[in-house]
A and B are shown apart, each in its own frame.
Chain A
Amino acid sequence: MDKKTRDDLLKLFQSKLNEAMRFYLETCTRCGVCTEACHVHASMGQVRYIAAYRSEIVRRLYKKYFKGRGKFWPSVGEAKELSEIALDELFDAAYSCTGCRRCMVYCPFGIDTQQLMSIAKLLLIGANTEPEILTLLADTSIEKGKSLELFKEGFLEGIKRLEADVLEKWQTEAGTTAIPVDVEGADLLYVALAGAHSIIPAAAVFNAAGENWALSFFEAVNFGAFVGDPTKTKLILDRIVNEAKRLKIKEVCICECGTAYRVMKQLAGKQPFKVSAITEVHARYLKEGRIKVDKSKLNGAVTYHDPCQIARNAGVIDEPRYILQHLTDNFRELTDDPRYNWCCGGGGGLVAMGEDTLDFRMKSSKVKVDQVKATGANILATACENCHTQLSNLNDHYDMGVNVQFLSSLVADALVR
């Protein structure tokens, strides 16, 4: 690696060194408490998949370039030169970590491995060695924000074609629009994903609740966050923030997408609207009696996988359980404390990398499979697209015999007048 490349990468490293990050880098005592916390290590048993080991890959570079000791006695401080080999190690550490932060809740110091991996991801971007597809997806989202006028008409036409399906689930009064778009003064802006499954059930529930809502032009997911690019993350986020402000929205409701929710909730800053996950909105409708559901619609035992970015990392834990109480008398928890739930193994951009990561995702999530099987449930509900894909892949691969469902779809299918 030439000096200029290394200097540029070290500048990127430096840009991440805030107080919290320095604390994470300087505090690990190697107590080993996090060893069994990571689903990858628990499933595959290799040292390189221990959370503290991943962090050490970043920490060694920190010791070499940003701490006095490493600068003078590299062997004592276990400092490591930033080289092509170091970049390979950073890639292996960062893209085998789903950013679930289960290790963080075990660590006595609360060391956030996901944050440390964000340094690794930024260095990979700087060296042009990040997964190309994640950057392409992020750039596509940004392009959409820039050229909305070009795509608007086609999108509106596609949405119109879904209206009959929405009305099939919940008939609204004649003359009302089943999927309103671009409505100034709407109370709620629903930010969905590209697929019809993310729009139709949600629309039926909003209409059943008599919500004054509108569908966003943009998809909720933030690929900038997956690839670890702060600038792109913000550009993708701003598309939705600006749309919500333009329409004078009071509440932005994020579809079942964990990363989208966490990014909007924690990175959008102070805005004139509140941010909710669709699960929170559905629980509220039930509490306020705005929708009613029929328990007899759901047959069998149901368990619920808490998406890491919605539950452990953003606190939406009680709401899905409140909803499930209304949907079934046969609910079985996956774990005693949902904050310690195993990750599904698909986060951090791994599912978005598609087939390339499939083998690793299947091997690294064995503990999740065992956890689901132990409940004996035949319906596995979740509230995140990423988790749904990964759990469906696991279901096929391990022949789990469960029916993987979106929680929002279960609500829509159980609606009664």
Chain B
Amino acid sequence: MSDEIQVIKVFDLKGLACPMPVVKVSKGIKEVEVGQVIEAQTTDPGSLSDFPAWAKTSGNEIVKTEQEDKLIKFYIKRLV
């Protein structure tokens, strides 16, 4: 978990088939309040472009992205 960001829920989306990471994060973000942050963990390289495009489309905000070897972590703030 990132130090400065308070994560409310973590979603393990590692190794999922297309388009489950985006489907699950779309549902998952609705499980927290507006203004709260979720962490989505994936191993899909395509998520590095899919998630920012999803955030723009759905009106949410990716506050931080981290890559550790193959693990990618998105910290997403619910805005709508």
Contact B57 A139 (CB under 8 A): yes
Interface string of B41-69 (1 = CB under 8 A from A): 00111111110111011100000010101
Taken together as a complex, chains A and B put the C-alpha atoms of A154 and B57 apart, in Å, by 18
Q: How many Å from the CB of B14 to the closest CB on chain A?
A: 10
Interface check B15, CB cutoff 8 A: yes
In chain B between 1 and 42, which residues have their CB closer than 8 angstroms to a CB of chain A? 15-24, 26-27
Please determine whether B18 and A155 come into contact, CB atoms closer than 8 angstroms.
no
Q: A159-B45, A162-B45, A199-B45 are in contact. Are A194 and B53 (CB under 8 A)?
A: no
Find out whether the CB atom of A198 lies under 8 angstroms from the CB atom of B67. Answer: no
As a 0/1 sequence over residues 159 to 193 of chain A, the CB contacts with chain B under 8 angstroms (1 = contact) are 10110000000000000000000000000000011
Contacts of B57 in A (CB 8 A): 136, 139-140, 143
A121 CB to closest chain B CB, in angstroms? 18
Please measure, in the bound complex, the distance between the C-alpha atom of A140 and the C-alpha atom of B46, giving whole angstroms. Answer: 12
Q: Are B45 and A140 in contact (CB under 8 A)?
A: no
From known contacts A136-B26, A136-B54, A151-B52, infer whether A161 and B18 are also in contact, taking CB-CB under 8 Å: no
Q: Please report the C-alpha to C-alpha distance between residue A385 and residue B18 in the assembled complex, in whole angstroms.
A: 7
Bound form: Cα–Cα A144–B46 in Å: 11
Contact A195 B17 (CB under 8 A): yes
Which residues of A114-172 have CB atoms within 8 Å of chain B's CB atoms?
133, 136-137, 139-141, 143-144, 147-148, 150-152, 154-155, 157-159, 161-162
Closest to B21 in A: A194
Task: Collect the chain A residues with CB atoms within 8 Å of residue B20's CB.
Answer: 354, 389
Chain A residues with CB under 8 A of B56: 143, 147
The answer to whether B18 and A194 have CB atoms under 8 Å apart is: yes
Q: CB distance A155 to B17 under 8 Å? A: no
- Looking at chain A, what size class is its interface with the partner chain? 35 or more
A219: interface (CB < 8 Å): yes
Judging by beta carbons under 8 Å apart, are A196 and B17 in contact?
no
Known: A136-B26, A151-B52, A194-B45. A223 touches B72 (CB 8 A): no
Taking a contact as CB atoms under 8 Å apart, the answer to whether B67 and A157 are in contact is yes
Check A195 against B23 for contact (C-beta < 8 Å): no
- Judge whether B65 and A154 touch: CB under 8 Å: yes
Among residues of A, the one whose C-beta sits closest to the C-beta of B45 is: A158
Q: Is the CB of A221 within 8 A of B48?
A: no
Give the shortest distance, in Å, between B50 (CB) and chain A (any CB).
5
**With a CB–CB cut-off of 8 A, which chain A residues contact B21?**
194
Asked whether A217 is an interface residue with its Cβ less than 8 Å from the other chain, the reply is yes
- Are A154 and B52 closer than 8 Å at their CB atoms? yes
Tell me which residues across on chain B come within 8 A of A196, comparing CB atoms: 43-45, 70
Choice from B26, B27, B50, B65 contacting A194 with Cβ under 8 Å: B50
How far is B67's CA from A204's CA once the two chains are assembled, in angstroms? 24
- Within 8 Å of chain B (Cβ to Cβ): is A17? no
Considering the complex, give the chain A residue whose CB is closest to the CB of B58. A136
Check if A389 sits within 8 Å of B48, measured CB to CB: no
Give the distance in Å from the alpha carbon of A194 to the alpha carbon of B67 in the complex: 16
Q: Does A388 contact B (CB under 8 A)?
A: yes
Contact between A389 and B50, CB atoms less than 8 A apart? no
